[in-house]
Amino acid sequence: MKSTSFRSAVGAVLTAALSAVVLPASAASAAENPAAAGTVDAATAQSFGRLADAVLTQRTAALLDTERSVRSAAPLAEKNVRLSAGQTRTEDTALSTLRTRKARLAALGEAYTSADTRVAVDRVRVEAGRATVQATETTTLAYKKIRGDEPATTGFQAHHRLSFAATADGKWQLTGLTSTDDGPLAVNEPSTARVAAGTTALPEATPAAISVPSRPQTKPAGSYDYTAMASYAEKYWQNYNPAYRKFNEAGGDCTNFVSQALKAGGWANKSGDSEDYRSWWYDTSYQSTSWVGANEWSWFTLDAKRATNLANVYYMGVGDVMQMDFDEDGSKDHTMLVTYRSSSGVPYLTYHSVNTYRKSVAGIIASYPNSAYYAYRT
């Protein structure tokens, strides 16, 4: 079995990023205790990045088929930076949660053999004895060949905010680690995802079953180019298409991304008022709410008969769409596109917010066993 590979891309990024945010300690008191003076040097800032890498690497390792100890390879403490007692307890709980998720994955016929987690520090801000670190995690996991038809890997890119507090002796403690992304959990993220505000409207989608069916269903030929949909999504899952606006800071980019892929596969604009769910369009200055809104997309799709509901998420094929209602409050919170289907009938989804490539439907269900799922045949 291939050994687990973890790498960090902290140093090179920090060298460029820290010049604008790390302040030199000129006064004698600052030299003795730069944390208290509101400054950190480059070495401390790099330690922030290494600690972020260590924590996220350990979370990823908890999901692997053969979990290795990462404390020796990526220590959770350095000379001047370490976890607080409270954050240590939080991480212990997180790892327990992730091992439970790994067990649910195994019951669904999925496992990961190795992983590569990299963390890049984007920004460090220090004020009044506290430091806030913005970091980007890029993780790739290798699927274990259980059935033999799994794709090679799944991957995602996630954004985090880390909070550090200075101690009296000038050292730093990690006191918080929060995801700043909208959308479903990254597979190694144990926290509860944020939920969008509820909306009730018709036409109403029918929830899909999430149990593995005894008889898989094959997707029949349709009127759209499903290969083009999948190719588009897999091309732009991480590097966004500059021809389109991004909505990550305005509720999430997931439905916008799926709409782009559907258009690439042949979906035509339908003109109308931007607020009317019966229209679906995008232009250089604006777009319909159904282009970017999960609920509005569902209403348009069913009303226009662009798609029909499937009874089971495992019936989906390439080019089909899955939506989730995280807490079953009646409001759909996330939209994803199937870009690969194994020969044994497992759909794999690619999506934005968190940017993710070929995550199996089993992996999603394992993270959200109590959510409502909606499957659409396009």
Tell me how far apart the alpha carbons of residues 121 and 22 are, in angstroms, rounded to a whole number: 13
Give just the sign of the alpha carbon dihedral 25, 16, 79, 178: positive
303-322 mean pLDDT: 97
Residue scoring higher pLDDT (348 or 26): 348
Give the tens place of pLDDT for each residue, 53-82: 999 999 999 999 876 533 344 567 777 898
Nearest CA to 48 among 168, 156, 134, 158?
134
Q: Where along the chain do the CATH 3.90.1720.10 domains lie?
A: 226-377
Q: Give residue 170's pLDDT.
A: 79
Tell me how far apart the alpha carbons of residues 97 and 94 are, in angstroms, rounded to a whole number: 5
pTM beyond 0.85: the answer is no
Cα angle value 189/195/231 (rounded, 5°): 65
243-257 mean pLDDT: 89
Query: Using 50, 70 and 90 to split pLDDT, how confident is the model at 227?
Result: very high
Q: Give residue 44's pLDDT.
A: 81
Over pLDDT 70: what percentage of the chain? 84
Top CATH class of 10-179 equals: alpha beta
Q: Where along the chain do the CATH 3.10.450 domains lie?
A: 10-179
Tell me how far apart the alpha carbons of residues 109 and 346 are, in angstroms, rounded to a whole number: 10
Fold of 226-377: endopeptidase fold (from Nostoc punctiforme) (3.90.1720)
